[in-house]
Chains A and B, each alone.
Chain A
Amino acid sequence: MAAGAPLITFDKVWKSYGQGEAKVHALAGVDLAIQRGEFVAIMGPSGSGKSTAMNIIGCLDTPTAGTYSFMGIDAGRLDRNRRAMLRNLYVGFVFQGYNLLARTTAAENVELPLIYRGVAARERRDLAMQALSQVGLVGREHHSPAELSGGQQQRVAIARAIVTRPTLLVADEPTGNLDTARTHEIMELLTQLNTELGLTIAMVTHEADVAGYAERTIRFLDGHVASDSKNLEVA
């Protein structure tokens, strides 16, 4: 990858569902670029295409037409397993519903991506503890999700996302289930990861004040990028 090239590039990306008359374009020729180290908020009403865009960014989905390149790789044309490998190596995911494995301790949840990377048990444990301390959850590693609050669960999820030292963090409404105080804490944590680790973050949100934590806001509408602006006040 050439120096200075964007981490993420959408080149006339289309994503269509259905056939013939019923054909729906979730994305209709989107052009987009996200640089390394950026913290981008993605907004837009439901059906605007923002979730589809996020799935493509996270290498979970592929475009119907156009090119999605991630780290200079034409990720839209990779098969399932290669994309899985890409996700495992370079992408961390944080979801609105936390998506932790129930009846599995915090530490084990955090270790999960490392298992698929083939990391040895002891090293996994060490890395998981390190990630948990980065999100401020030392001492909770043996709790199961049910024993943790929503904010703590989301911290575990963030630890799981960063334990592999990814290049990109994809966050899908990470504070959607949290109250204001918890939201603030989580957003502080994400901002800190962005600045301290240089982690590129793409975050979907509905709330303008959450989007305010990011440096840049991209608004989707009807499958197009409606606006793309730098945020003036960085929280």
Chain B
Amino acid sequence: MIWETVRLSLRSIRRNVLRSFLTLLGIVIGVAAVIAMLTIGSGTTEKVKADISKLGSNLLVVRSGRPAGPGGPGGLDQVVRPLAEKDLAALVAHLTGARAISPASQKQVRVIFGTESLTSGVTGTDSAYLDARDWKLVSGRPFSDSETRSGTGVCLIGETVRQQFFGTGDPEGEIIRVNRTSCKIIGLLEPKGYTGFGQDQDNVVLMPLHAYQRRIAGNRDIDNIYIAADDRTPTSELQPRVEDILRDARRVTPDRESDFAIRDMTQIADAMASATTTMTGMLGAVAGVSLLVGGIGIMNIMLVSVTERTREIGIRLAIGAHEKHILIQFLVEATVLSLLGGIIGILIGLALAGLASVALTIPFAPSPAVILLAVGFSALIGMVFGFFPALRGARLDPIEALRHE
């Protein structure tokens, strides 16, 4: 019976190809928009996650100042104490579960080679930094311990810096000027590309912390301490240990808040991902509105169809169709119509998302759940918006309907 009705509805859809197509268009556009939005959205989320994991997952970053929280960061009465080398030393001495602990102080500084110049992110750090950030060298070597200790003028440069100064040439052994000091390039970092926020991760210069402090910053401060957890230790477990050690090292009394903040990059990654997910959801909802419009289109055309086929309904009722038979016939027709639109919409939406993923260099991430949902939703739209016209058809008086011209 149902199969019979589906066949019947397909036939009546085929009978008015143009009209059916125009009716479908609303649903097609709606579903295509939703599918494209959600697929591009989840691609973006994946990209953001991947970008943040490039920043280093299972990474804790300590910086001075009170943690941001209710009441805002550090009050005026409290002078922010920078991190110092004894804090680092305390962590290195007492922290368990860390793979690498590394200090870092950063500044945007003008870097000059010959007549070329470039403003780069210059970081003063030690040899554990590469391990902590999970960065690799394409060529050359990291700082030696003695270079770190004595603050020798050596540096590692990123790909952007190399291209600016040396093109594709080998930069090793060249001397560049960083601010007013000079340093010798001893290695080239592996290219990492841009972050999701448009920050060039290759426009960097790394130099020994002491060299940076003495020649560029002019102080003994450490801006950040990077702590990479080892494989067995989740960052959530590592974080309180770090806090205890640092409170102790910085002699923060138990009645006071910590005068430093520990950021968990995993948490940040999750937060960013959930932000893009929310964004995606909102865009999807906006696109969903067009589905509603498509549904109204279906209702409109089904009303026309019921009126046009009043006589047919009369015949069917006369020869013994029950109300429910007529109701089901038109409901199925509306559902088949919108389902068809939904399927076409999904194909177009996926194609659009595919093109977008190439254009935006994000992963193409179609979600079976979303596709299934779109199928279900478009069928639902057909049922909901087809119901009123179908009911109208079913309630017709057979005598009146037969008289209808």
Residues of A at the B interface (CB closer than 8 Å) are 55, 58, 60-61, 80-81, 84-85, 87-89, 92-93, 95, 99-101, 103, 112-113, 115-118, 121, 160, 164
Contact among B1, B15, B399 for A55, CB-based, below 8 A: B399
Chain B's closest residue to A58 (CB) is B318
Question: Contacts of A103 on B, CB cut-off 8 Å?
Answer: 11, 15
Choose the segment among B114-122, B133-141, B320-328, B371-379 that binds chain A (4+ C-beta atoms closer than 8 Å).
B320-328
Q: Is the CB of A87 within 8 A of B1?
A: no
Task: Across the interface, name the chain B residue whose C-beta is closest to A111.
Answer: B4
- When chains A and B are docked, how far (Å) is the Cα of A136 from the Cα of B393? 34
- Kindly provide the distance from the CB of A89 to the nearest chain B CB, expressed in whole angstroms: 7
Determine, out of B171-179, B273-281, B309-317, B361-369, the stretch whose residues face the partner at the interface.
Answer: B309-317
B311 proximity list for chain A (CB < 8 A): 99
Residues of B within 8 A of A164 (CB): 320
Q: Are A113 and B319 in contact (CB under 8 A)?
A: yes
Q: Are B323 and A60 in contact (CB under 8 A)?
A: no
Could you tell me the distance between the alpha carbons of A100 and B315 in the complex, rounded to whole angstroms?
8
Q: Is B342 an interface residue (CB 8 A)?
A: no
Q: Does B391 contact A (CB under 8 A)?
A: no
Q: Contact: B399 with A60, CB < 8 Å?
A: yes
Partner of A88, one of B1, B320, B323, B324: B320
The answer on a CB contact under 8 Å between B1 and A112 is: no
Q: Is the CB of A116 within 8 A of B399?
A: no
B318–A112 CB distance below 8 A: no
Q: How far is the CB of B281 from chain A (nearest CB, A)?
A: 45
Whether B319 pairs with A88 at a CB distance below 8 angstroms is yes
B binding-site residues for A, Cβ under 8 Å: 1, 4, 11, 15, 311-312, 314-325, 398-399, 402
CA distance A117 to B321 in the complex (A): 9
B321–A116 CB distance below 8 A: yes
Contact (Cβ within 8 A) B402 A84: no
Residues of B contacting A89 in the complex (Cβ-Cβ under 8 angstroms): 320
8 closest A-B pairs (Cβ-Cβ)? A88-B320, A113-B319, A116-B320, A81-B322, A87-B320, A116-B321, A99-B315, A84-B322
Do residues A85 and B322 form an inter-chain contact, with CB atoms below 8 A? Answer: yes
Contacts A60-B398, A103-B15 hold; do A93 and B1 have CB atoms under 8 A apart? no
- B1 cross-chain contacts in A, Cβ below 8 A: 115, 118
Closest Cβ–Cβ distance, residue B70 to chain A (whole Å) = 66
A202 to chain B, nearest CB (A): 14
Point out the residues of chain B lying under 8 angstroms from A113, CB to CB: 319-320
Q: Complex formed: what's the CA distance from A164 to B321 in Å?
A: 13
Asked whether, in the complex, the Cβ of B323 is within 8 Å of the Cβ of A116, the reply is: no
30 sampled A-B residue pairs with Cβ under 8 A: A60-B318, A60-B398, A61-B399, A80-B322, A80-B323, A81-B322, A81-B324, A84-B320, A84-B322, A84-B323, A85-B320, A85-B322, A87-B319, A88-B320, A93-B318, A99-B318, A101-B315, A103-B11, A103-B15, A113-B319, A115-B4, A116-B316, A116-B319, A116-B320, A116-B321, A116-B322, A116-B325, A117-B320, A118-B1, A164-B320
How far apart are the CA atoms of A55 and B399 in the complex, in Å?
8
Most buried by A among B15, B316, B320: B320
> Once the chains bind, are B399 and A81 in contact (CB under 8 Å)?
no
Q: Are A84 and B321 in contact (CB under 8 A)?
A: yes
Q: Which residue of B lies closest to A55 (CB)?
A: B399
Given A115-B4, A118-B1, are A99 and B320 also a contact pair (CB < 8 Å)? no
- In the assembled complex, which residues on chain B have CB atoms less than 8 Å from the CB atom of A117? 320
**Complexed CA–CA distance, A87 and B317 (Å):** 9
A88 to B320 CA separation, bound complex (whole angstroms): 4
Q: Which of B314, B316, B318, B319 has the most CB of A within 10 A?
A: B319
Report the bound CA distance from A121 to B5 in whole Å: 13
Among A84, A89, A164, chain B packs the most CB atoms within 10 A around the CB of A84
Given contacts A99-B311, A115-B1, contact A87 B318 (CB under 8 A): yes
Contact status B319-A93, CB under 8 Å = yes
Question: Closest approach, in angstroms, between the C-beta of B322 and any C-beta of chain A?
Answer: 5
